[in-house]
Structure 1
Amino acid sequence: MLVIEHQKNAGLGQLSDRLTENGLTLETVGPDAGAPVPESLDGYDALIVLGGAMGPTEDDKAPWLPATRKLLVDGVELGVPTLGICLGAQLLATATGGHVRTMPQGPEVGLYDVDFTSTAAGDPLFGGLAETSVPAVQWHWLEADRLPDGAQVLASSPACRNQAFRVGAAAWGVQFHPEALGATAQDWVDEDRESLDELGLEEAAVVGDVRAAEPRLGAVWLPIADRFSEIAKLTAAEAA
């Protein structure tokens, strides 16, 4: 599995060990990983694109983004199981014909519920969460306000309609962070305390809420890592 990491403090978090335990070999690339984004998905059974502080078209700040967008398009076209998280979801939407904007109601920062719709019932990855509200870590000022043609919305929140969506048969974008626990939230606070101050948020409350929710965050999102692993392995077996 190819994992594109945009910055060191936005890694796979709690999903990393679970994916490995499920028998997947993870190859992490990106600036802090010291490995370039490859030109193709040849040899990879799945793709995960993680979050980052840059926007999905800020190629001047992150010159590996064009290659990342190309791989996301390839993943959709080839049916390679793909998961874009936060920036990864925005890159997926942008690369396949959607649009990303600054959130008009302001950012979501901290612990928020995500509402999965009845349309998620038949989804291969999130079907088990249909018609439920579940906790997730949010940390985003941008959102995909328009999805590509044919994309299916799977989950929303009051401030962000496209919290989870699928493009094609096996490419998912999630605006929230299923990988993040309290330590990651603390890292992000440490990186940008000024933004928290501007929003009138207290560090102790934001990080404390995430830490308190860790058992629930594991109970909801680790099974999704299991399911993504199953999809990746099944797709690889069918292609063999």
Structure 2
Amino acid sequence: MNRGGEVVIITHFDDADLLWLDRLIREQELVPRTVRPFGGEPLPQPGDGDTAAVICLGGPHSAYDTAAHPFLLSEETFLRDATEAGVPTLGICLGSQILSRALGGQAMPGTRGLECGFIDVRTVQGTAEASGDPLPDWLCGRFFSFHTDTFLPPAGSELLAVSDQYPQAWRLGSALAIQFHPEISPAGIRQLLSIEEDKLRTYGIDVEAVLAEATASRDTAWAGARQILGGWLTGRITV
């Protein structure tokens, strides 16, 4: 990625946790540019030469609920244009589902219920690691996850990682989709769980246990963020 270029970060609610992303982006002498399409902010032209990369983050919406949230369609178009222009494009959680739709896949309600808390992400055997590609190994680890919707990867894509409940990562061209949250800090987890606490308890989620693991595993989580996001930003992980 060109030093000094912009990393367009698409968010889906106010005060999204960008602490770790901002740090990792600036370490690579790139410039974070946050865009809020849900608030009416326009997306740039992805092939304008200023956009070094695109990251589409999570949020409370369903990627398929475009009638209620028409800005999601503009995000689909933007992500499709970015990948067609060869711009490195990363979708996380909701972003991974929008990216799936943008490239011809699907987003839908999951059939295995809520996935919330720290999950073990593992490589899909038989994918590119057999040829020495480092990406799947970099995706393995224990990460925070929070979703009920899931994706069906687009035709021609490569499924890279799964959890016990859901597919967790795929790639196609310059696009990489991740269902879990390597980017979120313990403060971001606390913010998210506080908003959804009543709902989570109805699902039987032990909120205190999740928060305790977030605090105890901060250093490990930061190492995972640097491993995946830092590797992607530096080009050590390529798609």
TM bucket by the smaller chain?
A: 0.7 to 0.9
| Structure 1 counterpart of 2:138 | 129
Separation of aligned partners in 2, 1:3 and 1:179: 12
Contact residue 161 and residue 168 of structure 2 kept, 8 A: yes
- 8 Å CA contact 1:166–1:172 kept in 2: the answer is yes
Within 5 Å, give how 1:169-188 maps onto structure 2: 170-188=174-192
- Identity across aligned pairs (percent)? 31
Are 1:181 and 1:211, in contact at CA under 8 Å, matched by a contact in 2? Answer: no
2:172 alignment partner in structure 1: 167
In 2, Cα distance between the equivalents of 1:120 and 1:16? Answer: 30
* Structure 1 counterpart of 2:213, one-letter code: D
Q: Distance in 2 between matches of 1:26 and 1:163?
A: 25
Match in the other structure for 2:4 = none
Per-residue deviation, 1:32: 7.5
- For the residue of structure 2 that corresponds to 1:74, the secondary structure is helix
Q: CA deviation at 1:59?
A: 2.8
Query: What's 1:104 paired with?
Result: 111
Q: Aligned to 2:51, what secondary structure does the other structure show?
A: coil
2:145 is aligned with what amino acid? Q
Does 1:113 find its partner at 2:114?
A: no
Could you say if the C-alpha distance between residues 196 and 109 of structure 1 is closer, same or farther in structure 2, counting changes exceeding 3 Å?
same
Check the 8 A contact 1:152/1:167 in 2, yes or no: yes
Given the alignment of the two structures, is residue 77 of structure 1 paired with residue 81 of structure 2, yes or no? no
User: Superposition RMSD on alpha carbons, in Å?
Assistant: 2.4
Compute the TM-score of the two structures, normalised by the length of structure 1.
0.86
Q: Secondary structure in 1 aligned to 2:184? A: coil
Report the equivalent of 1:238. none
Unaligned runs of 5+ in 2: 1-6
**CA offsets 1:119-172 (integer angstroms, 9 cap, x no match):** 242687725427xx401110101001x211110011101100x2011022x210
Q: Which of 20, 25, 31 is 1:19 aligned to?
A: 25
Tell me the TM-score normalised to structure 2 length.
0.86
Note the residue ranges of structure 1 that are not aligned, 5 or more in a row.
236-240
Aligned partner letter, 1:166: R
Of 198, 201, 212, the residue aligned with 1:194 is 198
Aligned residues: 229
Q: 1:123 to 1:217 in 2, by over 3 A?
A: farther
* Range with greater deviation from structure 2 (201-210 or 58-67): 58-67
CA distance in 1, matches of 2:73, 2:132: 29
Match of 1:215 in 2: 219
Separation of aligned partners in 1, 2:47 and 2:191: 31
**Compared with structure 1, are the counterparts of its residues 120 and 184 closer, same or farther at alpha carbon in structure 2 (3 Å cutoff)?**
farther
SS of 2:235's partner is helix
